[in-house]
A and B are shown apart, each in its own frame.
Chain A
Amino acid sequence: MSAASSPFPSTVITGGTIGSIIIGCKLQVLHGNPPEYRKAEILSIRPTPTPEDATRSEYYVHYSDYNKRLDEWVVPERLNLLGEIEFPKVKKPKTVLAGIGKETGKGSEPGTPGASNGGRVAKNNRKSNLSKASKAGKAGDTASPAPGTPGTPGGASTVAGNKRKASAMDEAGGASQDKDGQVPSIKVNGEDEDEDEDGQGGDDTPGLDDDGASEYSKEREIEKLRTSGSMTQDPHEVARVKNLNMIQFGKHEVETWYFSPYPVEYAHLPILYICEFCLSYFPAVKQLSRHRTKCSLQHPPGNEIYRKDNISFFEIDGRKQKVYCRNLCLLSKLFLDHKALYYDVDPFLFYVMTVRDEDGAHLIGYFSKEKESSEQYNVACILTLPQYQRMGYGRLLIAFSYELSKVEKRLGSPEKPLSDLGLLSYRAFWSEAIVILLLEQHKTGVELSIDDIASRTAFQPTDVLHTLQTLNALKYYHGQYVIVLSETVIKNAERALKKSRREIDPRALVWKPIHFTATQLRFL
């Protein structure tokens, strides 16, 4: 539906050869189990020559509307070369697109109605980038994508310098907003940034519809938003390629999710070996085993502040345990997209959760916390290692973070942005805690305010309000707002209560908040 009516017919062609596929191309890629085609964008290409085919390559793809953690390297056979292929618009079309033997669209249309709209979108986009960059510690995140792919054939690598271009390609290539008849204005060679950033809103829509994946009403609403151009993608996010594939951690082998700035020499190793106690990393088994003969750590190098059953929490000062905390950050960056490693670990305390067995206290997850948060965040980053996910450990971590806030007599909230998994975990935790509290309150028959709930849970009032909304519990009744718990909400809570789960026992917490002097904080 897009190609035929596009004003730039040369950017979308049906069918092509594997040699014509370049970075920025969008095409159907086989994915999942059972395998099905899904629209994806080529983010990087690396050669994997075989005796039969010296030019054989692998392709790093990002599936439309999937989280980046599902980005992967695919063999050429998984690309649907017979279907439609969207080619990116590039600065020198003749040289780059020579392979497909077609002239790229030179149709510059300065007066198209999309122009003004494009300017607005671009501005919004920039503003959001700015605000992100201004947040301390987040700046690095937005600015640290696209590792260079060593050995990528000429001109096809996605090094930082190419990022802007790559994103421009993406957007121009997807300039197929035939739905509302709006045509993005694109200048020759795409040198104007404003125009480049325009029109991306609708580019993924066809793919979604083709898949028939949108069976959720909310998604449709968001579709509308997207096509109207008010949502934009951060161009830096698009061209990210993770640099590691797999880590061996303790007894687990874990596929990595995102880029992490481990030494560039280790990029694209099949496996990175990590000592599960000191978190040192090694490119080969030999080094790990040598290290293990010498490493004497059997628990995180800090003070144990909580112990209940086999679960312990260790408090670690980033300033005092720099190597450990850096290693921990590198490790967690593999699984956290929005974690910033731009700055050093000094201003943070790390609360590491472990499970104990006969070998030692094994790292399950952790959260970091600013020594002094200007925005009342009680958690900066929070992670349960993938091998321990969906076992209720995330709940423990979150609960523990609020126990610390209760001791501090402060309200807390996790630092934004949350990841998708983070949002779901927090929502589940908040609603459960609030429903239980409300049920107790219902028995007493006493009214309470959102602030009351906040002070009893240490949640920020906005999080309380957010949760009450997701529970659909705020109602207007007889001229005033009331909280109404539906029977299903109550049933869900009771079911959860009956489950025998690990809980944080506040009595097992032996902790006093550390107070840092202004001088200590200044030199962080």
Chain B
Amino acid sequence: MKNVGARFRNRKINNKQLLHVYRAVDIPDLDETLNLQRSIPQTETGVDKEEETEHHLQAAISASNLSTTTGEAKALYIPTPDASRKIDNYRDFYSRAFTEPSTLIRFSSTVEDCVGCPYNMDDEDDKWLKEFNEKRDKDDMLDEDHYELIMWQFEKITNERVPYLQLDSGQIPPLDDLTATFTGPQLLPLKKVATSVYPWWSDRRTKRGGKVITPQLKAGFSSILNAFEEVVRNESDPYLCFRRRESKPIRKTRRTDQQSIEKLRKLRMEMESARSLLEMVSRREKVRKESLVLEHMIFDQRCKVREYRKNLGIKDDDDDIQSQKKKIRKVGETSATIRIPLNFKDREAISAQEDSRKDRSALSSIESELAKRREDDVGWEDLTDNPYQPFLVPYAQQCFKILPQQRNGKYVSFRKRMGRGGRLHIDRQYARPRSSSYRDPYQKDPYGMYDGVNTFDKFRFDDDSFDQEDVIDDVRDAMIRYRCTLLSETDLRSLSTSSRHHFIPITHGGHPQ
């Protein structure tokens, strides 16, 4: 028996397990002793632990257990305080007949909407009002409704204007401030009598320490005052109720809000820039249209002028008519200029100065061209110029002069030098452009252009046959490869240690022997 119990003890009842329903009479062979061993742990009642043990609850539970086991129906109630008394003057308060609508009631007015003037006079008010009315004429009596209206107006305005009155009850608003608010058809007629009610109201309010005459709930955060009170008072004040719930997810949502706000802001900025762009486009198009119209008009006018001239027989050249078109074409040409590295230009200028055969007009045209390009370059950074600074060529190396003729496909340069003992030396050097790999000096140079470039660089203006007219025409097709290599990034990178503008000596420097 014990074993059986132990075997099943762990098996819990599964909520999905199908259970057969029997009446007890159907299964007389039910083994109750087995069931006692297998009793399922009791689920919690849901009542607070300390209350679970209360005398009357236990009595009631026992009674209901008894009724399920033995059938003794003995209703046992938990005793509660008395609620059986009824008042006999119910009709004094509740007299309005209620007629129920035939359909379900739909109602959204609030209590505030339904209770009229929120000030309800108490016995003190009643006593005062009665005494007050005794002194007045029969037809000049202040009735309760109007009295409450006045009191409420005082209270309402004071709460609005001096919400902290209870902290400093000396700040009760003066009569004039309050009666000034008696406007409108309901309150205006009460303005005069309100003056007589004021001292009474002020007295009551002062007695309340500046608080509202009708006691209020200590409801959390319904006003600044309550928030203030909340801080001052103990959190566990049992009279403090209906606090505003600090919703926890707010922080989480705030972040997502921030993100979406950021997105919206960005979107707006983009939309706005698109809009301004379109606006400018439309403005441009309008201007263009205007100019076309103007051009058309000018053309018409010119046609007329020409016709008049023809008719009047005036023979004059049509310069003024043509000139504009020429100008436009020139603008188009300048926009096609290409920037040249600065050092290159400098060299040109220096060379030009040195050359005695250059005439002044050519020089000035070069200089003006350079000035113009410098101007064009303002605000631009010359990539080709910046990262690469040529090494200073040693003085001894500078003395080499390249012969204009080629020998074995190479330019040869010579230098005259005084050796020891006054001996005269001629150093010879093959001029060849720098390249990434060593080339056989006797092989026909496949990159003739390089040599050309180098000679161009160095001796351009030394050449007798140099054509002065197209001296700065670097736009010509033949220069394309040069320009390409100048601007190539990898090429620029490879220029880190030595200059391709310099000659690499085949023999050892200045000591050929």
Give the distance to chain B from A400, nearest Cβ to Cβ, in Å: 15
Give the distance to chain B from A118, nearest Cβ to Cβ, in Å: 18
Give Cα A428–Cα B84 distance, bound, in whole angstroms.
Answer: 24
A361: chain B residues at CB < 8 Å are 98, 100
Give Cα A482–Cα B445 distance, bound, in whole angstroms.
Answer: 106
Beta-carbon contact of B120 and A291 below 8 Å = yes
Contact of B93 among A280, A288, A338 (CB under 8 A): A288
Known: A341-B241, A420-B51. A481 touches B13 (CB 8 A): yes
Beta-carbon contact of A482 and B90 below 8 Å = no
User: CB-CB contacts of B230-268 with A at 8 A, as 1s and 0s?
Assistant: 000011111111111101011001000000000000000
Beta-carbon contact of A448 and B18 below 8 Å = yes
Contact of A253 among B80, B85, B110, B144 (CB under 8 A): B85
Task: Tell which of B71-79, B176-184, B494-502 binds the partner.
Answer: B71-79
A390: chain B residues at CB < 8 Å are 77
Known: A323-B110, A477-B30, A492-B73. A259 touches B238 (CB 8 A): yes
> Which one of A146, A218, A280, A283 has the greatest number of beta carbons of chain B within 10 Å?
A218
B423: chain A residues at CB < 8 Å are none
Give Cα A470–Cα B61 distance, bound, in whole angstroms.
Answer: 10
Of all chain A residues, the one with the shortest Cβ separation from B253 is: A522
Beta-carbon contact of A356 and B110 below 8 Å = no
Known: A280-B115, A487-B25. A343 touches B243 (CB 8 A): yes
Known: A218-B58, A291-B115, A420-B78. A284 touches B123 (CB 8 A): yes
B328: chain A residues at CB < 8 Å are none
Beta-carbon contact of A477 and B105 below 8 Å = no
Give the distance to chain A from B120, nearest Cβ to Cβ, in Å: 4
Beta-carbon contact of A465 and B144 below 8 Å = no
Give Cα A247–Cα B161 distance, bound, in whole angstroms.
Answer: 35
Q: Is B27 an interface residue (CB 8 A)?
A: yes
Of all chain B residues, the one with the shortest Cβ separation from A68 is: B51
Contact of B13 among A217, A298, A299, A450 (CB under 8 A): A450
> Which one of B35, B53, B253 has the greatest number of beta carbons of chain A within 10 Å?
B53
Q: Is A409 an interface residue (CB 8 A)?
A: no
Contact of B81 among A257, A289, A291, A420 (CB under 8 A): A257
Q: Is A449 an interface residue (CB 8 A)?
A: yes
User: CB-CB contacts of A115-151 with B at 8 A, as 1s and 0s?
Assistant: 0000000000000100000001000100111110000
Q: Is B148 an interface residue (CB 8 A)?
A: yes
A499: chain B residues at CB < 8 Å are none
Beta-carbon contact of B114 and A297 below 8 Å = yes
Q: Is A447 an interface residue (CB 8 A)?
A: yes
User: CB-CB contacts of B1-41 with A at 8 A, as 1s and 0s?
Assistant: 00000001000011111111111110100110011001010
Give the distance to chain A from B34, nearest Cβ to Cβ, in Å: 6
Give Cα A232–Cα B48 distance, bound, in whole angstroms.
Answer: 11
Contact of A475 among B35, B65, B98, B104 (CB under 8 A): B35
Known: A292-B93, A301-B110, A476-B35. A423 touches B81 (CB 8 A): no
Give the distance to chain B from A462, nearest Cβ to Cβ, in Å: 6
Beta-carbon contact of B217 and A441 below 8 Å = no
Query: Chain A: interface residue count, which band?
Result: 35 or more
Give Cα A467–Cα B408 distance, bound, in whole angstroms.
Answer: 115
> Which one of B21, B54, B120 has the greatest number of beta carbons of chain A within 10 Å?
B21
B243: chain A residues at CB < 8 Å are 140, 342-344
Q: Is A248 an interface residue (CB 8 A)?
A: yes
Contact of B69 among A140, A286, A472 (CB under 8 A): A472
Beta-carbon contact of A359 and B96 below 8 Å = yes
Task: Tell which of A20-28, A76-84, A180-188, A263-271 binds the partner.
Answer: A263-271
Q: Is A360 an interface residue (CB 8 A)?
A: yes
A365: chain B residues at CB < 8 Å are none
Beta-carbon contact of B20 and A483 below 8 Å = yes
Beta-carbon contact of B19 and A343 below 8 Å = no
Beta-carbon contact of A295 and B114 below 8 Å = yes
Contact of A342 among B68, B108, B110, B241 (CB under 8 A): B241
Beta-carbon contact of A424 and B60 below 8 Å = yes
A448: chain B residues at CB < 8 Å are 18-19, 21
Give Cα A276–Cα B98 distance, bound, in whole angstroms.
Answer: 14
Which residues in window 455-489 of A have CB below 8 A to B?
461-462, 465-466, 469-472, 474-477, 480-489
A251: chain B residues at CB < 8 Å are 86-87, 90, 94
A477: chain B residues at CB < 8 Å are 22, 27, 30-31
A208: chain B residues at CB < 8 Å are 55
B20: chain A residues at CB < 8 Å are 447, 480, 482-483
Beta-carbon contact of A487 and B55 below 8 Å = no
Q: Is A516 an interface residue (CB 8 A)?
A: no
Beta-carbon contact of B34 and A414 below 8 Å = no
Q: Is B43 an interface residue (CB 8 A)?
A: yes
Contact of B64 among A360, A416, A418, A424 (CB under 8 A): A424
Q: Is A254 an interface residue (CB 8 A)?
A: yes
Beta-carbon contact of A327 and B111 below 8 Å = yes
Task: State the total of A-B contacts with C-beta under 8 angstroms.
Answer: 370
Contact of A476 among B8, B61, B68, B244 (CB under 8 A): B8
Known: A361-B98, A417-B46, A471-B68. A222 touches B247 (CB 8 A): no
Q: Is A389 an interface residue (CB 8 A)?
A: yes
- B: number of interface residues (CB 8 Å): 111
A136: chain B residues at CB < 8 Å are 245
Contact of A65 among B55, B60, B253 (CB under 8 A): B55
B54: chain A residues at CB < 8 Å are 65-67, 420
Beta-carbon contact of B245 and A484 below 8 Å = no
Contact of A346 among B98, B110, B117, B245 (CB under 8 A): B245
Beta-carbon contact of B53 and A219 below 8 Å = yes
Of all chain A residues, the one with the shortest Cβ separation from B70 is: A488
Task: Tell which of A3-11, A48-56, A302-310 binds the partner.
Answer: A302-310
Beta-carbon contact of B47 and A483 below 8 Å = no
Give Cα A327–Cα B219 distance, bound, in whole angstroms.
Answer: 12
Beta-carbon contact of A389 and B83 below 8 Å = yes
Which residues in window 212-256 of A have CB below 8 A to B?
213, 216-219, 222, 226, 231-234, 237, 248, 250-256
Beta-carbon contact of A324 and B56 below 8 Å = no
Of all chain B residues, the one with the shortest Cβ separation from A426 is: B46
Beta-carbon contact of A290 and B148 below 8 Å = yes
Beta-carbon contact of A345 and B242 below 8 Å = yes
Beta-carbon contact of A289 and B69 below 8 Å = no
Beta-carbon contact of A234 and B50 below 8 Å = yes
Give the distance to chain B from A437, nearest Cβ to Cβ, in Å: 9
A217: chain B residues at CB < 8 Å are 62
Beta-carbon contact of B30 and A326 below 8 Å = no
Give Cα A420–Cα B380 distance, bound, in whole angstroms.
Answer: 88
Known: A160-B234, A250-B94. A469 touches B15 (CB 8 A): no
Give the distance to chain B from A421, nearest Cβ to Cβ, in Å: 6
B146: chain A residues at CB < 8 Å are none
Give Cα A283–Cα B122 distance, bound, in whole angstroms.
Answer: 9
Q: Is A296 an interface residue (CB 8 A)?
A: yes
> Which one of A226, A261, A278 has the greatest number of beta carbons of chain B within 10 Å?
A261
Give the distance to chain B from A162, nearest Cβ to Cβ, in Å: 12
Give Cα A475–Cα B69 distance, bound, in whole angstroms.
Answer: 14
Q: Is A510 an interface residue (CB 8 A)?
A: yes
Q: Is A114 an interface residue (CB 8 A)?
A: no
A522: chain B residues at CB < 8 Å are 247, 249-250, 253
Give the distance to chain A from B30, nearest Cβ to Cβ, in Å: 6
Contact of A302 among B21, B44, B51, B107 (CB under 8 A): B107
Sample (28) of A-B pairs whose CB atoms are under 8 Å apart: A67-B56, A69-B81, A70-B79, A140-B243, A143-B236, A251-B87, A251-B94, A253-B87, A261-B217, A291-B115, A295-B115, A296-B115, A303-B106, A304-B107, A305-B104, A359-B97, A359-B98, A361-B100, A387-B84, A389-B83, A449-B17, A450-B17, A451-B16, A484-B23, A486-B24, A489-B68, A490-B23, A522-B250
* 7 nearest A-B pairs in the assembled complex, by CB-CB distance: A294-B116, A488-B71, A263-B215, A386-B83, A255-B81, A265-B215, A341-B241
Q: A250-B90, A472-B68, A488-B68 are in contact. List 15 more A-B contacts (CB 8 A).
A: A145-B238, A160-B234, A218-B61, A263-B217, A276-B94, A278-B114, A284-B123, A296-B96, A344-B244, A385-B83, A420-B56, A428-B64, A465-B13, A491-B71, A523-B247
